[in-house]
Amino acid sequence: MDMRKWLYSYRLGQVRQQLGFVVPLSAGEYGEVSQWLPAAALALFKTMSPADQRHSLRVCRGLQDHGCRDRDMLAAALLHDVGKAGGRVPFWTRPVIVLGKKLVPGLLKRLVVYPGVQHTQSPPGWPFKYRFLGTPPSGANGGRKSGGTPETPPGAAPLDLAFKKPTLVSPGWRRALSYAWYHAEVGAELAAAAGPSQRAVLYIRTHHQADGPAAELHKIDEVS
């Protein structure tokens, strides 16, 4: 597709919504969201911008329209972009990441580093402080065990949550780009502290992988 055509077609609806042309969720819609999320995770959901909340609800509904009844997948749909919340990912970063991936992927990869979640401030109304799971961060993989949370359900294969060690990133524009690039991983860390299952956390972390565990979510996300 030629670049101009692609630029015009690139999620124009999403751009309009991010600029403020979006109807915030109604009380009834929050009720719908709360069917799939525990209370702390609902509070986390509400830290997203109205546009991202609406996008996430669209993804959740889209999955159900395609026959998905997996509660972990539906919870993940609602939280998959929560790493963008709390002002971590300003709007300008979104087209920069999309264009950068297409035009200068090597440069983009050199610019971004995993920022973690602890450098952000708790948004107003945030009911709990962010905490690392497992052992305090030190050494490889931030001192965390692969799997991030203590137990794996009996008989289930261990989930590879494998959170990365965060790095202090400056200046601000580079941090913002890094959060945009790593929002799936950051969202997974935030969600892991808010109560959804390990599997839902895994789906959030892998929601950009077309052939990953959350392929179903990825497909709907691309068109929502």
Residues near Fe ion (CB under 5 A): 81, 221
Where do we find the tokens 């101009």? Answer: 4
Cα–Cα distance for residue pair 35/60, rounded to 1 Å:
11
CB of 97 to Fe ion, least distance (A): 10
| Cβ-based nearer residue to Fe ion, 42 or 59 | 59
CB of 107 to Fe ion, least distance (A): 21
| Cβ-based nearer residue to Fe ion, 113 or 188 | 188
Give CA separation, 104 vs 123, 139, 221, in Å: 33, 32, 24
| Cβ-based nearer residue to Fe ion, 56 or 120 | 56
CB of 183 to Fe ion, least distance (A): 6
User: H-type helices in the chain, by residue range?
Assistant: 3-9, 12-18, 27-34, 39-45, 50-65, 71-79, 93-103, 105-111, 172-181, 183-192, 198-205, 215-222
CB of 224 to Fe ion, least distance (A): 7
Q: What 3-state class would DSSP assign to 6? A: helix
CB of 204 to Fe ion, least distance (A): 9
| Cβ-based nearer residue to Fe ion, 87 or 158 | 87
**Half-sphere exposure for 174 (CA within 13 Å, toward CB):** 12
| Cβ-based nearer residue to Fe ion, 29 or 145 | 29
